Structure 1
């Protein structure tokens, strides 16, 4: 039987949202195109999926490079004996850092925008180009609470994520009536992944047990979004630990 397939862009460390989403869809029988900038990381994610008896392949992709994104979709939308054209696209790219607004350089601002917003545009545009003719499909963007409120030291991040949120809303309104489910997942809180554990371990310790979002629990939400009946689609959902103030 030909497997359905999914594209997950912005995959990094195994203990991260992108990798968890890859594992979740693979466990449901999908062939997953694991796309990210670091070959060693995406190869490890693929190895883990295959070790579990599931299907995936690594596709090195820089989401800010238009040719890379187009090549990824060309590969994933091919109808082969092993898998059908992808009908799920997850855009999980993003970066973060605290930078004093007075010290923020033009190059830094542009870099955050290119990764957090422009990359989402390239992925979303290619998804629309390929899925609209099929009349079906799911496109999910990983967002952040920064898209709703800009905090001190995060102007660059908030600007990029706010742009991504508007992009997702415009796509949903334009392509929902054509059978494409576009959703925006707003991550409101620290994620219990490699980035936090490695670079800000004090945050993980301060939050304590249950104070960070579990990556596999996040991935469950992505799967449930894809499975929603078209009469009750979610356009935006916010996820946070039960301890998180808001």
Structure 2
């Protein structure tokens, strides 16, 4: 039986006093023996952490005590080991770094599409399906027919849009990422540029894998995650350590660690 609960979460909401939240949250993580990372910015919160069930519930309750986070939702997965080595609370300009000023998913973002409706959308040949993740993530798995922008980090995505999508403003654009947060920003960015029909997979790949049976899935491969699990299968279980291609690990593990630290 799995011993640890791993939760992922994000919420775009104004946090004017986010700096003062750092120490109490870090103290609560340590008190509850929780490891992982919480990112705070004036635009909201983002993170992943892991611990025993009761401890995780305690930290979640504490986070929801803050104004603006009362309805903060969490996605759960389970594992037999804790994929994090320490507790971290980071202060950032953005909770996920696109590097574009004036992007506010609270005010403007793409239309959310449920996992149950996603297959029909991306099967439409007139829909442009874009994987907003980094190239090394896409190499491990993606949706059938999706475009790989081949970015090294999320900050490269605006350049991809300028170079490859500027003539597609009247096309239907469907975008996805691991848990949904990058799509909140990327679809907001496209909407601000004047793209008419922009869609995003609600809850990202993780929600899709949790919701859609493998026999009906259009997902191919495994799903990269920014922790020691490295990648998850269709049951959201970490892959066997020897099953990930050694060439991929040699070429990309360092990039993944650097990007994770930059989040």
| Structure with more helix by fraction | 1
TM-score, L = length of structure 1: 0.30
TM-score (normalizing by structure 2): 0.28
Structure with more strand by fraction:
2
